[in-house]
């Protein structure tokens, strides 16, 4: 059975996929949503190891999905397990070459802001969560739901460079890019040869538009089966 390993972005937890998972289950797919929030002061490599463990539990037919920051995480994890991952899917995901950290890919102001937040309000190592509006969430019920769940993010997850052997480049990839665009995620995805699919919605699309996102994930899965 195909397993979707769903990896949440920064300041989020496995709950980020709560509205997407039921649609995938109804279609007969299995899901795993690893938790990247339990490591205290940790880095991107620690998160990739957590995802590798989830891939190993899932078996040999994995669709690996990463949202936002987790785009870097899932590519490093897939690079370590190229024989188990059928496809990598990025949802408004950061992606770059070997040696690139998120602060290298993002505008300079982002790196300046997260380092200052860690220094001034995060004991030097963590970045307090921004408000829901930073993710494009404005509906009052969703604002409250998200604000109650957001957690601090370790600064090193943004500054640690990705380690890639190149094995991930042999795995097919698709990027779901939200419209209107917040960062050049489509450009990043195209730079590594990924198919780009547009989806109307804010950056936190798993929360704001879970059903359209789930349907697109299913379509990507079906198209991938036909390609084999």
Predicted local confidence at residue 222, as pLDDT: 80
When the pLDDT of each residue in the chain is averaged and rounded to a whole number, the result is 96
Instruction: Give every CB contact of residue 177 below 8 A, 6+ residues apart in sequence.
Output: 92, 185, 186, 189, 196, 197, 198, 199
Predicted local confidence at residue 224, as pLDDT: 62
Predicted local confidence at residue 225, as pLDDT: 61
Where do the domains of the chain lie? 3-227
In this predicted model, what pLDDT tens digit does every residue of 28-84 receive, in sequence order?
999 999 999 988 999 999 999 999 999 999 988 999 999 999 999 999 999 999 999
Share of the chain above pLDDT 90, in %: 93
CATH topology of domain 3-227: Rossmann fold (3.40.50)
The residue with greater pLDDT, 181 or 226, is: 181
In this predicted model, what pLDDT tens digit does every residue of 170-212 receive, in sequence order?
999 999 999 999 999 999 999 999 999 999 999 999 999 999 9
Predicted local confidence at residue 38, as pLDDT: 85
Residue in 82, 89, 79, 87 with CA at minimum distance from that of residue 20: 89
Whole-number Å distance between alpha carbons of 26 and 40: 35
């Amino acid at each position: 059975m195909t397993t979707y390993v769903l990896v949440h972005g920064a300041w989020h937890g496995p709950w980020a996929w709560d509205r997407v998972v039921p649609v995938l289950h109804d279609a007969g797919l299995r899901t795993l949503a690893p938790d990247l929030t339990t490591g205290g002061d940790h880095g991107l490599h620690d998160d990739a190891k957590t995802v590798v463990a989830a891939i190993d539990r899932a078996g040999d037919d994995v669709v690996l999905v990463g949202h936002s920051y987790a785009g870097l995480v899932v590519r490093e994890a897939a690079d370590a397990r190229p024989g188990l991952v059928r496809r990598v899917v990025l949802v408004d995901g950061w992606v770059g070459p070997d040696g690139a950290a998120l602060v290298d890919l993002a505008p300079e102001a982002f790196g300046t802001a997260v380092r200052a937040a860690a220094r001034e309000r995060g004991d030097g190592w963590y970045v307090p969560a921004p408000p829901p509006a930073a993710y494009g969430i404005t509906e009052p019920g969703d604002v409250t739901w998200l604000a109650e769940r957001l957690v601090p993010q370790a600064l090193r997850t943004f500054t640690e460079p990705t380690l890639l052997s190149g094995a991930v480049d042999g795995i097919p990839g698709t990027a779901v890019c939200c419209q209107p665009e917040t960062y050049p995620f489509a450009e990043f995805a195209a730079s590594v040869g990924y198919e780009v699919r547009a989806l109307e919605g804010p950056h936190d699309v798993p929360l704001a538009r879970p059903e359209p996102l789930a349907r697109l994930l299913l379509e990507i899965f079906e198209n991938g089966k036909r390609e084999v």
